[in-house]
Amino acid sequence: MLSLLTVVREADEFAVTREGLFVPKRHIAGIDDRATDFVAVAERFIGTPYLWGGKSSFGIDCSGLVQLSLNAAGISALRDSDMQQASLGRAIDPAEWSKPRRGDLLFWKGHVAIARDETTIVHANAHHMSTVIENAAEAIARIKAAGSELVAIKRI
């Protein structure tokens, strides 16, 4: 995802790179192609192992998931959750926190999740040791019980 390739020729269902690697053509998109729904991009990582500092299908962390998903949609995002909180979107009034919208970013100190809708989030986390879809209220309560309050919701 988001890797740049130089294709020198095509061979049946494959594109051949200048390094001689064969890549399935269905896995390649144009350099200007952008995802229309960054939440759907994040959902493609469901089941990916959690890896602090990771940013691939081999292992990913919460802010890496957000950064990759937004970048795939053409939205620039910094790497770490604190930087993302400071630079992305607009803050939502705490009175509205009970009803996040698809694509809202939920922030805790050191953690970020993406709202899928009013009731569920997608996030890479050490509790599950993978990227999961989770009930938002349950995740907020579990993370609070572990000592971290929800600090912001930002709307892209």
Which residues are known catalytic residues?
Answer: 62, 111, 123
Total residue length of the chain? 156
Local structure of residue 99 (DSSP, 8 states): S
Q: Which residues pair with 38 in a beta bridge?
A: none
CA–CA dist 106, 115 (Å, integer): 7
CB atoms within 10 A of CB 32: 6
Residue 68: closest CA among 106, 50, 41, 105: 41
Alpha helices in the chain (DSSP H): 38-43, 62-72, 81-87, 136-145
